[in-house]
Amino acid sequence: MFSDLFDYREISGLVAGVDEVGRGPLAGDVVTAAVILDPNNPVAGLGDSKALTEKRREKLFDDIVANCLCFCIARASVKEIDSLNILQATMLAMTRAVDGLAIKPDHVLVDGNRLPKWQYCATAVVKGDARVAAIGAASILAKVTRDREMTNFDDLYPGYGFASHKGYGTKVHLEALGRLGATAIHRQSFKPVRDVALAKEMSAQK
């Protein structure tokens, strides 16, 4: 499943893959994962979590946890997203994930084109979740974790459809937001949520 576009030959030692899920949604935390795979216990079928079925992701989640050398799932909260901005909150969550590994990596490979300001030797890999096994594994752990959380929020906040859209700004979500208002898990700094709050404020003043 992985291409040979990324050259590992100059990287030695233990490599951790890092990825995030949840930068775009209007609600919920941004979740990150860091994974160091065990070369003696490879996990078959890894790849970009978004390209896998939910059933396949759930199976791979268990396989990764059972066979990797170590992993850590971390996050930045909605409050942190609103206070820092989504980019900086994502960088913070990535740092927490790597800091939380039981084994310290010699090199960290991060999905995307940006790196946190940290002490680790690291490389950003564009579309790394589809090119690097460890990043693909991190992508799966982060997505399954966040999807489960958003499904649970569907029971806590009925009517928004969190189980289906996972907090992204779909038509159903935006309609529910306008009708029901924002919840405690909505990102107040995101424009659609701000617009709802402003509309309600203006309506109250009439």
Write down the pTM of the prediction: 0.92
pLDDT greater than 70 at residue 2: no
| Residue 10 confidence (pLDDT) | 66
Rounded Cα distance between 174 and 186, Å, is: 12
State the average pLDDT over residues 44-59.
90
Res. 7 pLDDT band, cuts 50 70 90: low
| Residue 203 confidence (pLDDT) | 64
Rounded Cα distance between 78 and 122, Å, is: 27
Token pair, residue 194, equals 């701000």
Rounded Cα distance between 186 and 156, Å, is: 13
Kindly report, residue by residue over 81-101, the tens digit of the pLDDT: 999 999 999 999 999 999 999
pLDDT greater than 80 at residue 202: no
pLDDT greater than 90 at residue 158: yes
